[in-house]
Amino acid sequence: MILYRSTRAVEGAADVTFDEAMLAGLAPDGGLYWPTRLPPLPLGWEAAKSPAELARSVLGAYMGAEAAAAVAGGLDFPWPVKRLTDDVFVLELFHGPTAAFKDVGARSLARAIEAALIGRDERLTILVATSGDTGSAVADAFAGLKRVRVAVLYPAGGVSPVQEAQLTASRQGVRAFRVEGTFDDCQALVKAALADPALAGVNLSSANSINIGRLLPQSLYYLWGSARVWEELGVTTPLEVVVPSGNLGNLTAGLLAAETGLRTAGFLAAHNRNDFFPRYLAREADAYAFDASVATPSTAMDVGAPSNFERLFSWLGDDLRARVRGCRVGDAATLERMRVTAEQDGYLVCPHTAVGLEALARLRAAAAPGERRAPAMVLATAHPAKFPEAVLEATGRRPAAPANLRRFTDAPKRVESLAARPAGLRAALLDWVD
Ligand SMILES: *Cc1c(COP(=O)(O)O)cnc(C)c1O
């Protein structure tokens, strides 16, 4: 069985099991867990008939058969591929309960944690900082579990009204905190609480993309999507993979799939104006030279200091620059791409997906004449109806909400306000009565 090591482990430090790494979230030394070994994909993975079957065949090596089966149980919604043009495919990852790809990681993690806690007489409190989509996905995935309760922290004014309705829907065992600050402040509060000795008596963990239990299952849709595109094309040709990126968890999962055997033509990390990573790739910024976050239409990608950079950098170092291309897309270009995609392709996309499509268009426009271009797979990370204001502004059209989103509109709400200081969250966690 594979063991896991913190990105900050010192020589001789003990490695931990998957369950230990997942239940801890962040390593005690403040680092992020990563497998000590990356097993090659099982032969014939392309033939899996469903995401759940793919989970059972690929994830067992990382987490054991039981946890892999538990994860498979949470992957109960489709990941369809839509052909936008001759050689551009969109992998729709937004058909889960909260209409964003975060459902994949959150539901996987919830199932795996529940499986791990069975047999241990333990309760766990999960902290999650969210720029919108993670929080609702996690709250939804964990709601009602007997051994786990969840505190969700989101930036006041930093999420869309639809997202806020999802985040604050009253759920058993879930508290929503509206933080006077940015997403980075929320993330800092979570990190401070996890390291706070005063909270040692509360069994705390995190469900951000820093949790390895969320990240590993996310590698599955890169495999699934590639296999669907190859079927459609009738040829197994490496794809240009375009990832709308913020905290870089999604990209990390994709690079893991490639490292273990998925053939690609490369990765394109598409960022909004929060562009530390593209600048790092272009040698315009040093590693870890993060910026404060700025607000853009693709709110879930408004991350100034992406947590997973530490994971990527400690794994690949400057070799990252050889594996990933970066692109920064401004706000006006994002909305313009939404408009063009609606007009030319008759397809409404959310602002995050639009950042990916625009980055791809620029990559292709910059190619040398006659250069052979790979078909592209762009990850569609959220349903357009999650961002109706932006879609309306860009396209003049109001996206129809799918049933899974409509159910939040009328749900009873519950939310608490919090200052961006550790003391407030500490008090709330110590006083939690349920
Ligand atoms: C979280 C999120 C992203 C960014 O994913 P990371 O793993 O943080 O890079 C992109 N789009 C949407 C809709 C998201 O919710």
Backbone dihedral angles phi then psi of residue 330, each to the nearest 5 degrees: -80, 175
| DSSP letters for 10-58 | -TTPPPB-HHHHHHHSB-TTS-BEEESS-PPPPTTGGG-SSHHHHHHHH
pLDDT of residue 331: 98
**Dist CA 181 CA 184 (whole Å):** 8
Residue nearest to atom 2 of ligand 1 (CA): 300
pLDDT of residue 407: 84
Which domains can be identified in the chain, with CATH numbers?
Answer: 76-100+215-402 (3.40.50.1100)
pLDDT of residue 162: 83
pLDDT at 208 over 80: no
Indicate if ligand 1 lies below 6 Å from the C-beta of 382.
yes
Range name among 7-11, 201-205, 239-243 with the lowest pLDDT average: 201-205
* Percent of the chain at pLDDT exceeding 70: 99
When the pLDDT of each residue in the chain is averaged and rounded to a whole number, the result is 94
Q: Which of the four pLDDT bands, split at 50, 70 and 90, describes residue 191?
A: confident
3-state DSSP assignment of residue 218: helix
8 A C-beta contact, residue 288 and residue 318: no
**Dist CA 425 CA 273 (whole Å):** 30
How confident is the model over 306-352, as pLDDT tens digits? 999 999 999 999 999 999 999 999 999 999 999 999 999 999 999 99
pLDDT of residue 274: 98
pLDDT: which is higher, 161 or 222: 222
Selection from 257, 247, 221 nearest residue 104 by Cα: 221
Q: Which of 184, 299, 381 to mutate to test the pocket of ligand 1 (most atoms within 8 A of CB)?
A: 381
8 A C-beta contact, residue 327 and residue 271: yes
Burial of 310 (0-12, 13-18, 19+ CB in 10 A): buried
Q: What is the mean pLDDT of the segment spanning 209-222?
A: 93
pLDDT at 55 over 80: yes
Which residue's entry shows tokens 């893991």? 256
Q: Which of the four pLDDT bands, split at 50, 70 and 90, describes residue 389?
A: very high
Give the DSSP H or E segment for 198. Answer: none
**Dist CA 306 CA 285 (whole Å):** 14
Beta bridge mates, 378: 90, 242
Strands 239-244 and 204-206: unpaired
pLDDT of residue 119: 67
pLDDT at 404 over 90: no
pLDDT of residue 209: 65
What's the 94 CA to ligand 1 centre distance in angstroms? 11
Dihedral over alpha carbons 80, 82, 88, 90 (to 10 degrees): -50
What's the 324 CA to ligand 1 centre distance in angstroms? 17
CA-angle at 209, arms to 206 and 211, nearest 5°: 50
pLDDT at 121 over 80: no
Q: What region, left, alpha or beta, does residue 236 occupy, with left being phi > 0 and alpha being psi -120 to 50 degrees?
A: beta
Indicate if ligand 1 lies below 6 Å from the C-beta of 245.
yes
Indicate if ligand 1 lies below 6 Å from the C-beta of 250.
yes
pLDDT at 181 over 80: yes
pLDDT of residue 312: 98
Indicate if ligand 1 lies below 6 Å from the C-beta of 248.
yes
3-state DSSP assignment of residue 264: strand
Q: Which of the four pLDDT bands, split at 50, 70 and 90, describes residue 157?
A: confident
Indicate if ligand 1 lies below 6 Å from the C-beta of 352.
yes
pLDDT of residue 347: 97
Indicate if ligand 1 lies below 6 Å from the C-beta of 329.
no
Q: What is the mean pLDDT of the segment spanning 113-138?
A: 86
Q: Which atom of ligand 1 is nearest to the CA of 249?
A: 7
pLDDT of residue 405: 84
